[in-house]
Structures are given as C-alpha cells and as structure tokens.
Amino acid sequence: MPDKKVGKEFLWYEFSDRKKHEWIKYYEDTNWNIISALYDNNNILNEEKLNFYIYKNFLNESLDNISLKIAKYVEIRKLYEIISFDNVNFDKSINISKKKIKKSKWELFKLTKLTNFFDDWDWIEKKDQSKEWIRLIQTWNVWEWIFIDKEDTYKFISEDTYNQLWCKIIQEWDILISRLPTPVWKSCILPKLNYKTITSVDCTIVRLKEDLILPYYFIIISKTNFYLEQINWKVAWAIHKRISRQNLWNIKIPIPPITTQQEIIKKIETVENGINEINEKIIKEQLYIENLINNSDWNEEKLNKFIEPFINWYAFKSEDLINIKKWDEYLEVLKIWNINNNWSITKSNYQYTKYLPNLEKFLINKDDILIAMTWATVWKVAVSSKNNLLLNQRVWKIKEKNISKNYLITVLLSKDFYNFCQTMAHWNAQWNISWEQIWEYKIKVPLNINYISSEIDKIEKTILPLRNKLNDLEIKKLEIIKLYLDIN
C-alpha cells in the first residue's frame, strides 16, 4: 500500500491500517467526482491525468510533452529495465531506476563465485557485550574504503558468548561490507588488529579467492559507478535503506587476469600517493590557519549571531533519482557522502532528479557553505564550487552574516568545532546533530577580523590550486579504470 501522502496526491484516497481501526477515505469534489492525478472519470483524454499518457503509449505515440502538473509522477521505463532477472526467486518490489546492462571486456563474475566465505552474524546485544576478550566490529567501523578504529569506542564479547553465538573470527585482509546506510555500499579491508575479532549483523565478511581477485582490486572496483549502480539497483527500504546478503552476492565484478589486476593496483596506488602528498600540504596550510585563529584573548560569541537560519533539505525518494544525467532539466543531487572535510565536494557518484519549481529554495549555488548533519559525516563542511546542485536530506546550507565567509568556514573546519560536534552528536538509529546544537557553538571573534580574514584569503589562494590538482588526480583514476576494464 502507498503512504498517505501519495494516496492523497495521486491515488485519490488515504487509508488507515491500524488494527480494529481500518478505514479508507476517498477524495471527491462536490459532484462526487474523484480528485486524482491518475485519471478523470469524466474525460479519459484529460492531458493533466496520467491515464492519458498510458493510453498514448499503447497507441505508440510520442510522450515528449507531459503536462507539468503530473510530471513528478511520471517515469518512462521499459519493463525489462525495471525487473531483475538475477535469480529465480520472485521479487515483489519494482525499482523504477533504469537498469543498465553491465558490460566489460573481461568476464563478469557474481561476488559469491569469488569468495571462500561470505556471511555476517546475528544481533549482538548490549547484554552480550563485555569489557575484554574478543573485539566486536560493527557497521560504523566500516567507512568509505577506510576502517575506522577508535580505541575509546572498542566493544568486546566474552569467550563464552563467542561459543554460544557460533561467531566467526575475521582475519586481516578480509573485506568488510556494510549493508546499512549511510551509504549502503561502504567497504574496507580489515587491517591487522591486536585482538581476535568478529562482526555482527549487517557487517558482511567477504573472504576472497585470491587466485581470482585481489582485495585491493575489489576496493578499487567498489569505488566505480559500475559497482555502485548495481548496489543502488538492489537496495531495498524497510526502516532505512539496506541491501540483503543475497542481493549483495549477486553483484557482478569484471575479473581480468591477476597480472592485470596488479598493474591496475600499481597505477592507482601511484595516483593515490600523489593525492596523499597533496592532502598533507593542504593539512599543513590548514594547521597554520588553525594557529592563526586559536587566540585565547579573543571574545567568544554563539555561532547563531553569525549565521542566518539554516536552509533545510528536501527528502528525495529513491524513485526520484537516476544515476546518469540524460536531460537538461535534471540536476545533480548532493548527498551527505559527497561532503568532504576539506572544503570540497566529491564529484563522483552523483545522482540526478528532474528540476521542478517547488525545488527552487533547495538550490545550491557557487560558494554556498554546506554542512552534513548525520552519521559518520556529522560535522563535515564543504563549499560548493558550482551552481545548480540540489540539497538532499541531512545536508544543510548555511549563510553567513556579520562575519567574513572565509573566517566562518575556517571556524567550521577547525578541530575545536569537530570535537564539539562529536560531543554533541546523539544516536537515534544513526549519529545526528541538530541545528539548535550547532547554534550554541561558541566561536572566537578577533578584534582585527579584517586582518585575520585577509591572511586566511592568502592561504586559501595557496590551497586552491592544490584542490584543483586533487580533482585532476581523481579524474585520472577513473581514466585508468576505463582504460584497463572498459566498463560501462
């Protein structure tokens, strides 16, 4: 059954399925005619109703000029593009995102055919945890190709619990894949740890057959649209986005010979070493800025004095988004994983949606300040480098007042602000911080703010070409993958 909002706007009814209080209410005008975007029971050729375009499609007529009043309800797809043929089990869900046929010049293998072990374990509740013995790894330890290892957050279970729950010890070089957001596709290689280690539910262990596929090669592939589009296709909604083990092991991977994989790894590592060197230079410059603004003699004032009320986000639904921009009226949707912690926005893995007039207030323009409010991206701050992006859920747009923009950004990128957000963030299915909490943050206000701002501007002029080089290197990585794998 659709939700109530969709029922009202589109299917001409709303309903309640609360036990013993079930009901359905139709929406009709004073003449008892149904009010719906779906059809007009008095005029089957009403061009402002969806059934008119279904009728035209049966007649094999053009669907190029769809009325703006119902455009948001319409997606044109071929049936074979929205049904999965990966397994024989019936799947009642239909994904309206266009399903691309994946191709490569190398043979494609399902992930399950490339593994010696593929599984995760049951819930390990708080009552099952202890202070030592066997370390517990959870989905939040797995980030975007990085293993997050904070000693003050370690969790353990006892030897007895381990035996009772039939847990499986994970090993160095195992791949860990989070099947929960955000985002669903997070994966990393498990490093060497000083404890016996296990995982819990939704943190999948993938132990590769290394005569077929190398761990670093898998991580490289997992960063490509080739892989990510398959994940997005198979993601389902319950309380939140999630991919099942069965759908995950059906993801297809192009498998060149091991020698070719090694060549790809070597070239990508060379590029990533260049990225790391540039990042170190940027960090050095940013450290100078940190020292510049870290003056204990300056007055402190709450952040809300220096920013306008936050511009909220729009919660796009998965069915609103496509992975490849095909029409000019489609704009890029900025998601929380696009926000980096170095001013910048990750330019890969964008999704797109049709721009409609009601989205105007969610437009992001060049030099807008953005902050992520959820999950491991809490506190990350970026500045848009282009116009006409759209603001997606849990990313907020900030506008400065009574203060230099560069000074405000510098404050938001400081370690002090990071520590504040980490302290204030609260857990509710995922880490969150509210704009009310951020408004309470106290910033140091220099008396000579014009001088400080001009110094920051000078440093930023040094950093800008470094950021441009970073973008060039990211493009070079994509070119290497395209050259060796020829994937679409």
Domain boundaries, the chain: 4-79, 108-255, 299-445
* DSSP letter (8 states) at residue 131: S
Share of the chain above pLDDT 70, in %: 77
Reported confidence tier of residue 328, pLDDT bands at 50, 70, 90: confident
Omega before 183 cis (within 30°)? yes
Given this model, what pLDDT does residue 371 score? 84
The tens digit of pLDDT for each residue in 427-465 reads 655 677 888 888 889 988 887 877 888 888 888 888 889
Given this model, what pLDDT does residue 2 score? 41
| Average of per-residue pLDDT across 30-52 | 80
The CATH number of the structural domain formed by 299-445 is: 3.90.220.20
**pLDDT mean across residues, the chain:** 78
Angstrom distances, CA of residue 139 to CA of 136, 200, 397, 419, 430 = 10, 8, 28, 22, 11
Instruction: Give the position of tokens 């491991």.
Output: 376
Given this model, what pLDDT does residue 368 score? 86
Tokens of 455: 């110094």
Among the ranges given (86-90, 180-184, 269-273, 347-351), the one the predictor scored with the smallest mean pLDDT: 86-90
Instruction: Give the position of tokens 């029922």.
Output: 7
pLDDT of 93 strictly over 70: no
Neighbours of 442 (CB within 10 A): 13
**φ, ψ for residue 188, nearest 5 deg:** -160, 165
Closest CA to 177 of 104, 235, 258: 235
Angstrom distances, CA of residue 436 to CA of 46, 259, 441 = 47, 54, 9
Q: CATH class for domain 108-255?
A: alpha beta
| Average of per-residue pLDDT across 191-205 | 82
pLDDT of 482 strictly over 50: yes
Given this model, what pLDDT does residue 211 score? 94
Same topology between domain 108-255 and domain 299-445: yes
Closest CA to 398 of 373, 420, 374: 373
User: Cα 268 vs. chain centroid, distance in angstroms?
Assistant: 23
Tokens of 340: 């980096």
Tokens of 263: 């060549």
Highest mean pLDDT, choosing among 65-69, 143-147, 392-396, 475-479: 475-479
Tokens of 69: 């009043």
Given this model, what pLDDT does residue 240 score? 57
